[in-house]
Amino acid sequence: MRKIVRRLPIMFLALVLISLFASTALADGSSTLSNNDLAKSINTMWVLIAAFLVFFMQAGFGFLEAGFVRAKNVVNIMAENFLDTTMTTVGFWAFGFGIMFGSGTALFGKEWFFLRNMPPELNGLPPLAFFFFEFAFSATASTIASGLMAERTDFRADLVYSFVVGLLIYPLVGHWIWSSDGWLAVLGMRDFAGSTVVHLVGALVGLAGTLVLGKRRDKEFGTDVKQIRGHNIPLAALGTFILWLSWFGFNPGSTLSATNANAIALIVVNTDFAATTGAIMAIFLAYLHTRKWDVSMAFNGALGGLVAITAPCAFVTPTMALLIGVIAGLIAYYGVELLEQLRIDDPVGAFAVHGLNGAFGTLAVGLWATDAGLFYGGGFHLLGVQTLGVLAVTAFVFPVSLLLFVGIKHLFRLRVTPEVEDEGLDLFYHGIESYPEFSGIELQGIYLKGIQEVSHGGTHTSQ
């Protein structure tokens, strides 16, 4: 062992020399590598690294939702997040990517289905690199819906709707806004990284599913009733941190280029600032109303800020990003209260975070974009286009999703039986529990408590 330790400096020096030699050799042969090829390689690596972070968001959503549901449904919600990714992949590969980015009409693309006949380059990138980045976004939209529908959705129904979202619903909206042919893009709508395209779409799908499902059996509405609490706040905290980190791929990666350093730096700072003030505002509101520092509200406030800044992150100043986060924290907190008043069961607060803040973030572009926003002398035009986009997407996604879930309800099964819901979805659907020893420990605790009561009660207890 000592010999190995003594040799480490020599090994390190050798690696440095090899690296220097390789870089020198590359410089000598650089004449064979054009500037365009070099820029394409750098941009490709940047976009793929960002795509890996976006893909890692699935882990963040999984941990967040697992922490916010009860122990008996943890395996199921993790399975839904995992399989949402796979089902969306298939749908997006088959038709979704072509509908979203292929040339066609103002409503949908008509080429590149099954990734066939792809051009040699898309947006300055290899087409498969661009596909992978966009697929990661589509998987996020499907996963958002699972949070609203948690703890009572049939597992097969989750697979079906995830496939349809990646195949049709998400790509159509994406074409309208992100394709040069799209009718909202032509009007000038801006959604830099997807406040509407990803987050509002996912939230609307989930809202439709929740309304068709109905509330959980033991859910009671109101502030004066016992709320169903998540079983593991540390797990939800880990999910939130992962999502916050992954958003640094979600937003900056949407530049699709590593060459504009100033734009990337602005987007990174704006993304972080909005999450920061969103978390602060939400937890202070929780304390104001309950005299408790409810950290779960801080999680949702941070995520609300991230969702809200996703559309305007490239168009606003850092100071405005702080303000956007403050408003997003307000929306995240009071949005949860609003759904309680409306008697809509959203176990993880997903609609307030992704739906309401997705709409707000899109409108924020029209308010604070430095080149065309209302408060920067741009008038009402951009704000009007942004408002039209939010309304049009809502008018399309929500009723189509309602029809989808009604169809699933009648053709397959949308909601689990009352017995399965009471027992928990983990054992029925997956045959395993997240904490196999938990039930035994719980029973053992009850047994010991009973023994103690008997020993302290004496003759009275025995009677």
Per-residue pLDDT tens digits for 130-164: 999 999 999 999 999 999 999 999 999 999 999 99
Instruction: Output the pLDDT for position 30.
Output: 47
Instruction: Output the pLDDT for position 456.
Output: 46
CA gap 367, 323 in Å, rounded: 12
CA gap 380, 383 in Å, rounded: 5
CA gap 94, 112 in Å, rounded: 9
What is the reported pTM? 0.88
Domain boundary assignment for the chain: 41-427, 435-462
CATH superfamily of 41-427: Ammonium transporter AmtB like domains (1.10.3430.10)
The helix (H) or strand (E) run that includes residue 14 is helix 2-28
Contacts of 184 (CB under 8 A, 6+ apart): 176, 177, 385, 388, 389, 392
Instruction: Output the pLDDT for position 36.
Output: 86
| Residues composing the chain | 463
Please, what sign has the CA dihedral across residues 95, 83, 301, 49? Answer: negative
Q: Which residues of the chain have pLDDT under 70?
A: 1-33, 438-463
Instruction: Output the pLDDT for position 90.
Output: 97
* pLDDT tens digits along 74-83: 999 999 999 9
Instruction: Please state the separation of Cα 208 from the chain's center in Å.
Output: 18
The helix (H) or strand (E) run that includes residue 201 is helix 201-213
Question: Would you give the end-to-end CA distance of the chain in angstroms?
Answer: 70
